[in-house]
Structure 1
């Protein structure tokens, strides 16, 4: 296994199992589907209103799911 495959398996897969991390902007930025990319753009380049707890949780769940699928696909093909 390559070092990048090992990194995905040993670091990122376990990180998917830690949902509290994904409530923080920096973690969400790493796993970003299109609607989350819009959110990132607004946070970085506009003056967005703070998001509520429910939206923050949903956003983190979407980012985790998106990144998890990508990692699994990468590991399956590598």
Structure 2
């Protein structure tokens, strides 16, 4: 499912939480977001509002996964 800008705007205005997947099909935006995260990590998130979450190790479909979620505001 796509996520039109109007939906994101409405969610932000209502102070809601959301997750948007960013794909490399948008190379300029992807590069900017990737650089933002690299900068935040280099600075130890100093000056960034940051939250992090990791899942426990999961074994599904023959794969072992641990998911890491970072939020930089």
- Normalised to the residue count of structure 1, the TM-score between the two structures is 0.28
Q: Which has the higher helix share?
A: 1
- Normalised to the residue count of structure 2, the TM-score between the two structures is 0.30
Larger Rg: 2
